[in-house]
Protein backbone atom coordinates (compact mmCIF):
# COMPACT_ATOMS: atom_id res chain seq x y z
CA UNK A 1 0.00 0.00 0.00
CA UNK A 2 1.33 3.43 -0.96
CA UNK A 3 0.66 6.89 0.53
CA UNK A 4 -2.14 8.78 -1.12
CA UNK A 5 -1.31 11.40 -3.73
CA UNK A 6 -4.58 13.24 -3.04
CA UNK A 7 -5.21 16.87 -2.08
CA UNK A 8 -2.48 18.70 -0.26
CA UNK A 9 -2.58 21.84 1.85
CA UNK A 10 -5.65 24.05 1.55
CA UNK A 11 -4.49 26.81 3.88
CA UNK A 12 -1.14 27.64 5.44
CA UNK A 13 -2.98 29.08 8.44
CA UNK A 14 -4.78 25.77 8.91
CA UNK A 15 -1.47 23.90 8.71
CA UNK A 16 0.17 25.81 11.52
CA UNK A 17 -2.93 25.73 13.69
CA UNK A 18 -3.36 22.01 13.17
CA UNK A 19 0.30 21.48 14.00
CA UNK A 20 -0.11 23.31 17.30
CA UNK A 21 -3.30 21.50 18.23
CA UNK A 22 -2.36 17.94 17.26
CA UNK A 23 1.44 17.75 17.03
CA UNK A 24 2.99 20.71 18.83
CA UNK A 25 3.43 19.05 22.24
CA UNK A 26 3.43 22.43 23.98
CA UNK A 27 2.96 20.67 27.32
CA UNK A 28 6.47 19.22 27.03
CA UNK A 29 8.26 22.53 26.43
CA UNK A 30 9.06 23.42 30.04
CA UNK A 31 10.38 19.92 30.77
CA UNK A 32 12.48 19.98 27.60
CA UNK A 33 13.99 23.32 28.65
CA UNK A 34 14.88 21.87 32.05
CA UNK A 35 16.40 18.83 30.36
CA UNK A 36 18.53 21.03 28.08
CA UNK A 37 19.80 23.03 31.05
CA UNK A 38 20.63 19.85 33.00
CA UNK A 39 22.31 18.38 29.92
CA UNK A 40 24.57 21.41 29.62
CA UNK A 41 25.48 21.20 33.29
CA UNK A 42 26.31 17.50 32.92
CA UNK A 43 28.83 18.35 30.19
CA UNK A 44 30.38 21.22 32.15
CA UNK A 45 28.48 24.15 30.59
CA UNK A 46 26.78 26.44 33.10
CA UNK A 47 23.10 26.88 32.22
CA UNK A 48 23.14 30.15 34.16
CA UNK A 49 25.40 31.74 31.55
CA UNK A 50 23.95 33.22 28.31
CA UNK A 51 24.71 30.11 26.27
CA UNK A 52 24.45 30.23 22.49
CA UNK A 53 21.65 27.87 21.55
CA UNK A 54 20.47 26.65 18.14
CA UNK A 55 16.99 25.15 17.87
CA UNK A 56 17.42 23.09 14.69
CA UNK A 57 14.02 22.43 13.14
CA UNK A 58 12.32 24.85 15.50
CA UNK A 59 8.83 24.28 14.06
CA UNK A 60 6.51 27.07 15.20
CA UNK A 61 8.90 28.29 17.90
CA UNK A 62 7.57 26.50 20.96
CA UNK A 63 10.98 26.59 22.73
CA UNK A 64 11.75 30.25 22.09
CA UNK A 65 10.23 31.77 25.24
CA UNK A 66 11.79 29.20 27.57
CA UNK A 67 15.29 29.52 26.16
CA UNK A 68 15.49 33.22 25.18
CA UNK A 69 13.47 34.68 28.07
CA UNK A 70 13.53 32.29 31.01
CA UNK A 71 17.10 31.04 30.56
CA UNK A 72 18.31 34.18 28.78
CA UNK A 73 20.22 32.14 26.21
CA UNK A 74 21.19 33.66 22.89
CA UNK A 75 18.70 31.69 20.81
CA UNK A 76 18.62 30.96 17.08
CA UNK A 77 15.94 28.92 15.34
CA UNK A 78 16.24 27.37 11.89
CA UNK A 79 13.24 25.87 10.10
CA UNK A 80 13.10 24.63 6.48
CA UNK A 81 9.29 24.46 6.22
CA UNK A 82 8.06 27.81 4.89
CA UNK A 83 4.76 27.88 6.81
CA UNK A 84 6.32 26.90 10.12
CA UNK A 85 9.19 29.32 9.57
CA UNK A 86 6.77 32.21 9.06
CA UNK A 87 4.82 31.22 12.17
CA UNK A 88 8.02 30.98 14.23
CA UNK A 89 9.00 34.47 13.01
CA UNK A 90 5.68 35.79 14.37
CA UNK A 91 6.35 34.10 17.71
CA UNK A 92 9.86 35.58 17.81
CA UNK A 93 8.53 39.06 17.00
CA UNK A 94 6.00 38.84 19.83
CA UNK A 95 8.69 37.74 22.28
CA UNK A 96 11.07 40.54 21.25
CA UNK A 97 8.25 43.09 21.59
CA UNK A 98 7.41 41.94 25.12
CA UNK A 99 11.04 41.25 26.09
CA UNK A 100 13.37 43.64 24.21
CA UNK A 101 16.35 42.14 26.01
CA UNK A 102 15.76 38.70 24.47
CA UNK A 103 18.42 37.64 21.98
CA UNK A 104 16.40 35.71 19.42
CA UNK A 105 16.57 35.23 15.67
CA UNK A 106 15.03 32.84 13.15
CA UNK A 107 16.37 31.69 9.79
CA UNK A 108 14.68 29.83 6.94
CA UNK A 109 17.15 26.96 6.66
CA UNK A 110 17.78 23.29 7.37
CA UNK A 111 20.87 21.38 8.44
CA UNK A 112 22.53 22.07 5.08
CA UNK A 113 22.28 25.80 5.83
CA UNK A 114 24.55 25.63 8.85
CA UNK A 115 27.66 27.61 7.93
CA UNK A 116 28.71 29.45 11.12
CA UNK A 117 31.88 27.88 12.50
CA UNK A 118 32.32 27.65 16.30
CA UNK A 119 29.06 29.57 16.75
CA UNK A 120 26.95 27.58 19.24
CA UNK A 121 27.34 25.95 22.65
CA UNK A 122 24.29 23.72 22.21
CA UNK A 123 22.47 22.54 19.08
CA UNK A 124 19.24 20.65 19.70
CA UNK A 125 17.13 18.93 17.05
CA UNK A 126 13.87 18.43 18.95
CA UNK A 127 10.89 16.37 17.80
CA UNK A 128 12.78 14.35 15.21
CA UNK A 129 13.98 16.69 12.41
CA UNK A 130 17.15 14.64 11.98
CA UNK A 131 15.07 11.65 10.83
CA UNK A 132 13.92 13.60 7.76
CA UNK A 133 17.39 12.96 6.31
CA UNK A 134 16.69 9.70 4.51
CA UNK A 135 20.18 8.91 3.18
CA UNK A 136 23.15 7.99 5.41
CA UNK A 137 25.32 10.41 3.41
CA UNK A 138 22.95 13.30 4.18
CA UNK A 139 22.90 12.40 7.88
CA UNK A 140 26.70 12.34 8.01
CA UNK A 141 26.96 15.66 6.18
CA UNK A 142 24.47 17.20 8.59
CA UNK A 143 26.44 15.95 11.59
CA UNK A 144 29.65 17.36 10.13
CA UNK A 145 27.95 20.73 9.64
CA UNK A 146 26.68 20.59 13.22
CA UNK A 147 30.14 19.69 14.48
CA UNK A 148 31.69 22.64 12.65
CA UNK A 149 29.00 24.97 13.98
CA UNK A 150 29.63 24.04 17.61
CA UNK A 151 32.19 25.85 19.73
CA UNK A 152 34.86 23.67 21.37
CA UNK A 153 33.17 21.65 24.11
CA UNK A 154 29.77 22.17 22.51
CA UNK A 155 26.88 19.69 22.64
CA UNK A 156 24.44 18.32 20.09
CA UNK A 157 21.14 16.73 21.11
CA UNK A 158 19.24 14.58 18.61
CA UNK A 159 15.67 13.87 19.73
CA UNK A 160 14.57 10.90 17.63
CA UNK A 161 11.87 8.27 17.51
CA UNK A 162 13.08 4.75 18.22
CA UNK A 163 11.43 3.14 15.21
CA UNK A 164 12.72 -0.38 15.96
CA UNK A 165 11.03 -0.24 19.35
CA UNK A 166 7.86 1.19 17.81
CA UNK A 167 7.75 -1.53 15.17
CA UNK A 168 8.18 -4.15 17.87
CA UNK A 169 5.29 -2.67 19.88
CA UNK A 170 3.09 -1.55 17.02
CA UNK A 171 1.61 -4.83 15.80
CA UNK A 172 -0.45 -4.68 12.60
CA UNK A 173 -0.24 -1.26 10.96
CA UNK A 174 -3.70 0.19 10.39
CA UNK A 175 -5.61 3.42 10.18
CA UNK A 176 -6.13 5.39 13.39
CA UNK A 177 -8.03 8.57 14.12
CA UNK A 178 -8.34 11.31 16.74
CA UNK A 179 -10.72 14.23 17.13
CA UNK A 180 -10.24 17.67 18.67
CA UNK A 181 -12.57 20.65 18.83
CA UNK A 182 -10.93 23.75 17.41
CA UNK A 183 -12.82 27.05 17.58
CA UNK A 184 -16.04 25.14 18.12
CA UNK A 185 -15.55 22.80 15.16
CA UNK A 186 -14.65 19.11 15.52
CA UNK A 187 -11.54 18.33 13.48
CA UNK A 188 -10.77 14.70 12.71
CA UNK A 189 -7.19 13.56 12.22
CA UNK A 190 -6.86 10.27 10.31
CA UNK A 191 -3.39 8.73 10.60
CA UNK A 192 -1.79 6.08 8.40
CA UNK A 193 1.69 4.57 8.42
CA UNK A 194 3.41 3.21 5.30
CA UNK A 195 6.63 1.20 5.51
CA UNK A 196 9.17 0.94 2.72
CA UNK A 197 11.37 -1.91 3.91
CA UNK A 198 13.70 -1.74 0.91
CA UNK A 199 14.61 1.93 1.52
CA UNK A 200 14.16 1.74 5.33
CA UNK A 201 11.65 4.58 5.29
CA UNK A 202 8.68 5.13 7.61
CA UNK A 203 6.05 7.45 6.09
CA UNK A 204 3.39 8.96 8.31
CA UNK A 205 0.34 10.44 6.58
CA UNK A 206 -2.18 12.71 8.32
CA UNK A 207 -5.51 13.67 6.76
CA UNK A 208 -7.42 16.40 8.60
CA UNK A 209 -11.18 16.69 8.10
CA UNK A 210 -13.70 19.34 9.07
CA UNK A 211 -16.42 17.60 11.10
CA UNK A 212 -16.90 14.45 9.03
CA UNK A 213 -14.61 12.28 6.92
CA UNK A 214 -15.32 13.12 3.30
CA UNK A 215 -13.28 14.28 0.28
CA UNK A 216 -15.25 17.53 0.43
CA UNK A 217 -14.28 18.24 4.05
CA UNK A 218 -10.52 17.61 3.75
CA UNK A 219 -8.69 20.55 5.34
CA UNK A 220 -5.17 19.41 4.51
CA UNK A 221 -2.97 16.39 4.11
CA UNK A 222 0.51 16.02 5.58
CA UNK A 223 3.04 13.34 4.66
CA UNK A 224 6.31 12.94 6.55
CA UNK A 225 8.96 10.38 5.64
CA UNK A 226 11.57 9.31 8.19
CA UNK A 227 14.61 7.08 7.97
CA UNK A 228 14.48 3.85 9.96
CA UNK A 229 17.88 3.57 11.59
CA UNK A 230 19.31 2.36 14.89
CA UNK A 231 21.11 3.91 17.86
CA UNK A 232 24.41 2.20 16.96
CA UNK A 233 24.16 3.54 13.39
CA UNK A 234 23.57 7.08 14.62
CA UNK A 235 26.40 6.77 17.15
CA UNK A 236 28.72 5.55 14.38
CA UNK A 237 27.90 8.56 12.21
CA UNK A 238 28.40 10.88 15.19
CA UNK A 239 31.85 9.39 15.77
CA UNK A 240 32.74 9.77 12.09
CA UNK A 241 31.76 13.44 12.34
CA UNK A 242 34.10 13.88 15.33
CA UNK A 243 31.77 13.65 18.33
CA UNK A 244 32.81 11.98 21.57
CA UNK A 245 31.16 11.03 24.89
CA UNK A 246 27.89 9.90 23.27
CA UNK A 247 24.98 9.20 25.62
CA UNK A 248 21.46 7.83 25.17
CA UNK A 249 18.31 9.03 26.95
CA UNK A 250 14.82 7.57 26.66
CA UNK A 251 12.82 10.65 27.63
CA UNK A 252 12.99 14.21 28.90
CA UNK A 253 13.04 13.02 32.51
CA UNK A 254 15.46 10.14 32.03
CA UNK A 255 19.07 9.46 32.92
CA UNK A 256 21.76 8.43 30.38
CA UNK A 257 21.71 4.92 28.90
CA UNK A 258 18.19 4.11 30.13
CA UNK A 259 16.34 1.13 28.68
CA UNK A 260 14.67 1.33 25.27
CA UNK A 261 11.44 3.24 24.81
CA UNK A 262 9.64 5.15 22.05
CA UNK A 263 12.32 7.85 21.95
CA UNK A 264 16.10 8.08 22.05
Using one digit for the tens of pLDDT, what is the confidence trace for 181-233? 888 889 999 999 999 999 999 999 999 999 889 889 998 899 999 999 988 99
CA dihedral 43, 46, 49, 54 (to 10 degrees): 20
Using a 10 angstrom Cβ sphere, with 0-12 exposed, 13-18 middle and 19 or more buried, the burial of residue 88 is buried
* Position 147 pLDDT exceeds 60: yes
Look at residue 79 in the predicted model and tell me its pLDDT. Answer: 97
Q: What is the mean pLDDT of residues 8-32?
A: 75
Residue 3 pLDDT exceeds 80: no
Query: Residue 171 has what pLDDT?
Result: 61
The residue with greater pLDDT, 114 or 2, is 114
Q: Output the pLDDT for position 16.
A: 86
The pLDDT value recorded for residue 35 is 95
User: Looking at the predicted structure, is the pLDDT value of residue 263 above 80?
Assistant: no
**pLDDT at residue 71 greater than cutoff 90:** yes
pLDDT of 164 reads 80
Q: What pLDDT sits at residue 7?
A: 41
| pLDDT confidence of residue 66 | 97
Among 70-84, 104-118, 219-233, 241-255, which is the least confidently predicted range?
Answer: 241-255
User: What is the pTM (predicted TM-score) of this model?
Assistant: 0.88
Q: Which of 8-12, 74-78, 103-107, 240-244 has the lowest mean pLDDT?
A: 8-12
Question: What pLDDT is recorded for position 59?
Answer: 94
CA distance 165 to 264: 10
CA angle, residues 70, 72, 75, in degrees to nearest 5:
110
User: Has residue 76 got a pLDDT over 50?
Assistant: yes
28 pLDDT exceeds 80?
yes
Tens digits of residue pLDDT in 150-192: 999 999 999 998 888 887 776 656 678 889 888 888 999 999 9
Q: What end-to-end distance do the CA atoms of the chain give, in Å?
A: 28
- More confident call, 252 vs 56: 56
d(CA 151, CA 46): 14
Highest mean pLDDT among 26-35, 89-98, 223-232: 89-98
Contacts of 100 (CB under 8 A, 6+ apart): none
| pLDDT > 80? residue 113 | yes
Q: Look over the chain and give the mean of its residue pLDDT values, rounded to a whole number.
A: 88
Amino acid sequence: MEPSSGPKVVSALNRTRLYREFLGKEHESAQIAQFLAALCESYGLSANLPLRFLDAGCGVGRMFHHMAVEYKWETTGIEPDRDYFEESCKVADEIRTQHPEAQLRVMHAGFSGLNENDRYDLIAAINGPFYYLLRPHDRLQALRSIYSSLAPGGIVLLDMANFQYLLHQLGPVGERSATKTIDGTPVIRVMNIFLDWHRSVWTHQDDFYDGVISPDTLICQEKHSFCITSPPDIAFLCELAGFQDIKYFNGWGSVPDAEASETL
